[in-house]
Structure 1
């Protein structure tokens, strides 16, 4: 299996500073994805019987939030930033998506076949699938944050412009999100170092923990973080 991927080092600055926010927020989102991938790999060999379907849902939700993130980037966020950063500034990030997204989609298709009873779960096969795209994805996640360094942002935006972009981003993000899957996964794949991510209103955070998490609670048990925000011990696959 791939060794657990290290989380991205958080960019310098303060989350509440609008010029620091884009890189810090992006890194926090990317760390959530890395947490999810590591959990998928760590649990893969140990899942059997009645735990297979909840685990498959966990894996599908991890991959869906990756897709959701990329859709927001490609349909809104990158264009909004390039109005000031310059056309094509984030083209390389878009192109990097193509190096691993098709492989992720293949993994999703396989997991959906298991979910629908058309294929049999196999931990080794899941790890092979993860290995087909995870290295390229992790490279991309690191590289993308570098493009949003605060010096570039501060040189080309004012605070009001950045706040307007972020407000629109959150509206787009919450418009088509599945409250019963995407929100719980953001908690159980969170990073204890950044408890403020995702930057949801407090009532929605409480609703996630005490209501939206209940429908698929068995699936969220595979997350590396508990509902209290503290890390959980993950199983160690055999070498």
Structure 2
């Protein structure tokens, strides 16, 4: 089976009803990202940060995977698929994708605020101040905030280098370091980009553009790839 590697972004989850911080002048549900998604924000007002991510979890529980998520899961019948996602929701897993790499962390996980290796699965939406890890420190969202290192970037690069086909879905390739992944594809690897707007700039690789929302674009891409 050919190795199909997919980089997904906020656009694929937006069609399920999850809002993104790029929806409205950099505001995320009315908050500047620096208020809720940086280490400084956590130090300054951890209660606000907890409240913000609690609301994100509660909202995420009300939405379902869409056709784009489902088509990516269906591709596992035809390809060896790895999804590398910038999204923190679990919609890929819920749709049936079995190999998902989360670059920016996972919404339904918490972790120790003093030991980033202590990660806990969450089966509920609320993380409270006073919820502690086994070492006695406050639990925080297991999210890679702006200004923090992206620990899954190196594994994602290694996966990308082995791709026979590379897809980009629902991201305008503006967020780094994730956007740099296209540069690690082999020169013989075809790249398909599905997004309503063709991104500006040159990424060092030829790309096949499908200017459409994720669901419509993935339906088109399914026809193209399965014909091949």
**TM tier relative to shorter chain:** 0.3 to 0.5
More helix by share: 1
Q: RCO greater where, 1 or 2, for CA within 8 Å and sep 6 or more?
A: 1
More strand by share: 2
| TM-score under structure 2 length normalisation | 0.35
| TM-score under structure 1 length normalisation | 0.34
